[in-house]
Amino acid sequence: MLKGKDGVFRYGASKERVGAVQNWNIDESADVVAGWGMGDAGESAFTTVSRFSGSVEFYLDPTDPGDDIAIGDTFEIDLYPGGETSGSAYFTGTILVTATPMAGSKDGIPTKTVNFRNASGTLSKNTVA
């Protein structure tokens, strides 16, 4: 069973690990084309171009390189939902950072969210060696 606390988010050429990740999400989608002709009882549909988008939220920490991620940055990510142990699945793709909202409250720890979409290519599922 996967445990969220074991998750890891890495980014960039050096695969820097973002610390204190609180949550993440990825949404894969594709365009759909549908058509029909005279005499057809129903339409036929298929997918064309695919894409993904998502976000990662982490605690702000001036010593963490994740704090420096900025709008417009493009880099590869590796997302390990259940940790980096051998045999575990992980996802990889090249992203474009589209927004970096931050939040804080009087009784909480300030956070930064990195919103992204694919910069090129698709999201790949791999297995840790």
Domains and CATH numbers, the chain: 4-127 (2.30.110.20)
Q: What is the pLDDT of residue 9?
A: 95
Other CB atoms within a 10 A radius of the CB of residue 102 amount to: 11
Q: What is the pLDDT of residues 12-34, one digit of tens each?
A: 999 999 999 999 999 999 999 99
Distance CA(83)–CA(72), nearest Å, equals 28
3 falls in which pLDDT band (50, 70, 90)?
Answer: confident
pLDDT value at 78 more than 90: yes
Report the predicted TM-score, pTM, of the whole model to 2 decimal places: 0.88
Q: What are the Cα distances from residue 46, in Å, to 40, 41, 79, 120, 122? A: 16, 17, 29, 21, 17
Other CB atoms within a 10 A radius of the CB of residue 23 amount to: 12
60 falls in which pLDDT band (50, 70, 90)?
Answer: very high
